[in-house]
Structure 1
Amino acid sequence: MKPSIFLFLAILTGSMGCSVGPKPIDYGRVGCHYCSMTIVDKQHAAQLVTKKGKVFNFDAVECMMNQLKEEDESTIGLLLVNDFDRPGELVDATKATYLISENIPSPMGAFLSAFSEEQAAEHTLEANGGKLLTWSELKEQYNQ
């Protein structure tokens, strides 16, 4: 083989090892990166994926929000949260609608749930009370 083919294969192999994307959370077996609690709740877990593909799992959105205070935002590739209405399904945290309702407990006691669809969050708000937040509002609340 020619040297250029070796270079191409080396680049191809190297780029395949660092894919940035969600990884399944091994519920009941993996611990939260922030608080070390075992992740069991499929409605409230969250995940941060770096631009290099390293995955950090959290048992609750509030743990991820607290971890974000310590992260260099330029290294973050993805921020994901479980959709409350679709347990175990990770969705883009920056596009989710958040509900804080004392009638819906979350693992760390912040009563914080995420919804991929605003209408679903509004319906849950009507049934349980509380307050809706956008991603920007949630970040502002946790950066105080």
Structure 2
Amino acid sequence: MKPSFIFCFAMLGCILGCTVGPKPIDYGHVGCHFCSMTIVDKQHAAQLVTKKGKVFNFDAVECMMNHLKDEDESTIALFLVNDFDQPGELVDATGATYLISENIPSPMGAFLSAFSEEQAAQFALDDNGGELFTWNQLKQEYQ
């Protein structure tokens, strides 16, 4: 093979291997980065992806929020949470609406759920009580 072909092939491999994006959570097999509990709940899991493509999985949004207390957020490319109404579906955490309701348990006991649609969060609030938060309000709660 020609050296230029080998170089191009190697560069393509690096580009494809270093993509920054969400990775599927292997429910029932992977542990939470914060508390080490096995992640099984598809309605409450969360994920951080660094700008270098490293993935951190969490069994609950509250674990991710607690982890962020000690994290340099400028290194994070993606903040992701499971949509409560679409179990297993990771959505942008910064655009989600959050509900803290004692009638909806979460894995670590904070009663915190994320919704991709504000209207869905409002329906859950109407049915279960509690309080709604935006991403920035939730971050303030966990400082």
Q: Verify same fold: TM over 0.5.
A: yes
Alignment partner of 1:131 is 2:131: yes
For residues 78-99 of structure 1, what are the alpha-carbon distances to aligned partners after superposition, in whole Å with 9 as ceiling and x for unaligned? 1100000001110000000000
Q: Which runs of 4+ in 1 moved over 4 A?
A: 1-6
Q: Which residue of 2 aligns with 1:84?
A: 84
**Structure 1 CA distance, aligned partners of 2:140 and 2:35?**
21
Once the two structures are overlaid, the 10-residue window that deviates more, 69-78 or 111-120, is 69-78
Q: Which residue of 1 aligns with 2:51?
A: 51
Question: How far off its partner does 1:75 sit?
Answer: 1.2
Report the TM-score, using the length of structure 1 for normalisation.
0.94
**Structure 1 CA distance, aligned partners of 2:102 and 2:73?**
30
**Structure 2 CA distance, aligned partners of 1:19 and 1:125?**
37
Q: Which residue of 2 aligns with 1:20?
A: 20
Q: Which residue of 2 aligns with 1:60?
A: 60
Q: Which residue of 2 aligns with 1:106?
A: 106
For residues 39-84 of structure 1, what are the alpha-carbon distances to aligned partners after superposition, in whole Å with 9 as ceiling and x for unaligned? 1111000001111111111000000001111211121111100000
Alignment partner of 1:118 is 2:93: no
Question: How far off its partner does 1:120 sit?
Answer: 0.2
Q: Which runs of 5+ in 2 are unaligned?
A: none
**Structure 2 CA distance, aligned partners of 1:128 and 1:80?**
24
Q: Is the partner of 1:81 in helix, strand or coil?
A: strand
Question: How far off its partner does 1:4 sit?
Answer: 4.8
For residues 23-47 of structure 1, what are the alpha-carbon distances to aligned partners after superposition, in whole Å with 9 as ceiling and x for unaligned? 1111111110000001111100000
Which one-letter code corresponds to 2:96 in the other structure? A
Q: Which residue of 1 aligns with 2:142?
A: 142
Identity between Structure 1 and Structure 2 (%): 78
Aligned length: 143
**Structure 2 CA distance, aligned partners of 1:5 and 1:38?**
44
Question: How far off its partner does 1:8 sit?
Answer: 3.2
Q: Is the partner of 1:56 in helix, strand or coil?
A: strand
Report the TM-score, using the length of structure 2 for normalisation.
0.94
